[in-house]
Amino acid sequence: MSEPHLETHHGEQSGRDPREMTVAELNGLGHDKMPLLKAIRAKCLDCCGGQQSEVRRCVSAKTCSLWPYRMNSNPFSEREGNPAGAAALIAWRERQQADSAQ
Ligand code: SF4
């Protein structure tokens, strides 16, 4: 039986490019359209055995690119109503400018 998410690439089995799949194929695999922050949160919950408290306490800030987003929010967002995110973004930009000036 063929698996819709797999293909043969250079003679070896590999995952298909989701950009080349239909929504129906993705839905058939159990993937529904969702905001990226929710997808990240779901991955973090999976990573922590479904324990929300463990996601909150995750210490992998220096090794996991998902870490800033694990609480289902974007701390870098400049959207109105997120002053902490705006401050974080300003601080990050200042650090980037300082690094590039060296
Ligand atoms: S941020 Fe932490 S909980 Fe989320 S995927 Fe990375 S290591 Fe796992």
Neighbours of 41 (CB within 10 A): 20
Residue 91 tokens read as: 């601080």
- The predicted-structure confidence for 10-68, as pLDDT tens digits, reads as follows 999 999 999 999 999 999 999 999 999 999 999 999 999 999 999 999 999 999 999 99
In this prediction, residue 89 carries a pLDDT of 73
Report yes or no on whether pTM surpasses 0.85. no
Residue with tokens 């870490």: 67
Taking only the tens place, the pLDDT of each residue in 67-84 is 999 999 999 887 766 777
- Which atom of ligand 1 is least distant from the CA of 43? 5
Residue with tokens 């043969």: 8
Q: In the block, which residue shows the tokens 């799949």?
A: 21
44 lines ligand 1 (CB under 6 A): yes
Residue-range domain boundaries for the chain: 1-33, 35-70, 72-102
Whether ligand 1 lies within 6 angstroms of the CB of 60 is answered as yes
Q: Whose CA is nearest to atom 2 of ligand 1?
A: 58
**Is 37 a pocket residue for ligand 1 (Cβ < 6 Å)?**
no
Would you state the pLDDT for residue 2? Answer: 77
